Amino acid sequence: MKNVFFYFLALSILLSFQSCLEDKCTEQREFTLYTPVYMTKAQFRKDIEVETTRKLENPGKMYFYNQYLFINEQGKGIHIYDINDETNPKKISFYDIPGNFDIAVKDNILYADNVIDLVAIDITDISQPKTVKRIEDYNNQYLNYDPQLYYVYSVRSNQTQILDCSNPNFGRGEFIENGQTFFDSNSGPKSTVINSSNGNNTTGLAGSFAKFAVVNDYLYTIDYNSLKSYLVSNPSDPQFKYKNQIGWGIETIFPYGDKLFVGSNSGMFIFDNKNPEAPVLLSSFDHARACDPVVVNGNIAYVTLRNGNECQGFENQLDVIDITNVLQPKLIKSYPMKNPHGLSYSDGKIYLAEGEYGFKVLDVKDPNSVNELCSINDIHSYDMISLNDKRLFMIGDDGFYQFNVSDPRHPKIVSTIKINE
């Protein structure tokens, strides 16, 4: 009888244990779902349509030119605001440009990517843009698996899924299923832009995630693995000149003096730009695989490294690099950060975006002793443009903010452009 009793007791314990295992092998998680949108060439190669009521929904990179602020609506086009009165931004129009993520301007000619094309747009009349040239298939690294359809952008939505251990995506922060991309909502990519002034006020200012840059008579563009130059001495007629093959993971470009600093997810590349048609690679500074915007002032380069699924890295830090000898850049010191994104330099200070943690103002006068002056924590921030020692632009998932930074320890919001406005 005892044997029967112990048998049922053991069986009960085993079933309970299996039940616990089954419970632990099931997870309910919140995902951000990215559903791709595709178009044919005929659909995206169209005349620019102008709207006045399109709301800012998914802000991307920002660009400042004359009195106008350009904010990219990721994959869809460009919002234009008149911010001559910094306290009262006024919406001018929206340019419907499918597959647009990057822009630059020279002498009232706006250069924009349009899926696989590069278009030059006359914005002399800001409310009536006119396409003056299209360079077809300028992005020959574009990956498409259907010869008729091209990826333009993704629609983001939230989704709850229950996964068990038999699901191959169990425990993964990122996966593709039925042609859709899922990111764990707690660790997925945030919307993803260097004060690139070169002294020529016929061009504008971009953020630190820029992939386009105008330097004098040349437009530079980067794609996944290369740097290209276009002669724009006649701004309305860009002419392709040269292509540098660099390597995979190219992310950002920052012109400074006669150098071009290119950030990648594995390091920083320094190009000599004395011959602007065909920049020459001088050196590189390698780091662990991580997202990598870069800005430069004098003999110091500032590089942010952050982790995350799209970056595949394990670092959250600001690297301060000595580039006195551009042939041998040397790390001065690394400073831990929470989740650093874009950054901008102004008058001995770095304004550094930290995603969901807001942004910081850092005193970088002494590269061996970088100190935090203040931290703003109640907004989302992924890039900055320091217009001057008093005026700071910031953009994030929440929208666009202008700050008065006359007192860098106490930045004050001057105006905002919120999403859905």
Quick one: CA dihedral 238, 244, 248, 252, positive or negative? Answer: negative
Task: Indicate the pairing of strand 300-305 with strand 294-297.
Answer: antiparallel
What confidence tens digit (pLDDT) does each residue in 148-174 have?
888 887 777 766 666 566 565 555 555
* 15 in any annotated domain: no
- Between 238 and 312, the more confident residue is 238
Is the pLDDT score of 136 beyond 90? yes
* 133 in any annotated domain: yes
- Between 153 and 245, the more confident residue is 245
The pLDDT of residue 153 is: 79
The pLDDT of residue 33 is: 73
Report residue 21's pLDDT band, with 50, 70 and 90 as the boundaries: very low
Domain coverage including residue 83 = 43-141+189-418
Quick one: CA dihedral 117, 290, 278, 70, positive or negative? Answer: positive
14 SS3 class: helix
What confidence tens digit (pLDDT) does each residue in 314-371 have?
578 999 999 999 999 999 999 999 999 999 999 999 999 999 999 999 999 999 999 9
The pLDDT of residue 241 is: 97
What confidence tens digit (pLDDT) does each residue in 23-54 have?
456 666 666 677 888 888 999 999 899 998 89
42 SS3 class: helix
* 9 in any annotated domain: no
The pLDDT of residue 37 is: 85
Average pLDDT over residues 393-403: 96
- The total number of structural domains that make up the chain: 1
* 249 in any annotated domain: yes
What confidence tens digit (pLDDT) does each residue in 40-98 have?
899 999 989 999 889 999 999 999 999 999 999 999 999 999 999 999 999 999 999 99
Average pLDDT value for the chain = 84
Task: Name all contacts of 418-421 with Cβ < 8 Å and 24+ positions apart.
Answer: 418/56, 419/55, 419/56, 419/57, 419/58, 419/59, 420/55, 420/56, 420/57, 421/55, 421/56
The pLDDT of residue 279 is: 97
In angstroms and rounded to an integer, the radius of gyration of the C-alpha atoms of the chain is 24
DSSP per position, 250-262: EEEEEEETTEEEE
Distance CA 52, CA 60 (A): 19
Task: Name all contacts of 300-305 with Cβ < 8 Å and 24+ positions apart.
Answer: 300/332, 300/364, 300/367, 301/261, 301/268, 301/329, 302/343, 302/345, 302/350, 302/364, 303/263, 303/268, 304/337, 304/340, 304/341, 304/342, 304/343, 304/352, 305/340
* 358 in any annotated domain: yes
Is the pLDDT score of 209 beyond 80? yes
The pLDDT of residue 192 is: 34
The pLDDT of residue 219 is: 98
The pLDDT of residue 188 is: 40
Which residue, among 118, 58, 57, 127, has the nearest Cα to 92 in the 3D structure? 127
Name the token pair of 178. 């039925």
Q: Which helix (H) or strand (E) holds 203?
A: none
Is the pLDDT score of 197 beyond 60? no
Which CATH number covers residue 268? 2.130.10.10
The contacts of residue 242 (CB under 8 Å, 6+ apart) are: 228, 229, 277, 278, 279
* 368 in any annotated domain: yes
* 168 in any annotated domain: no
Distance CA 93, CA 111 (A): 17
* 154 in any annotated domain: no
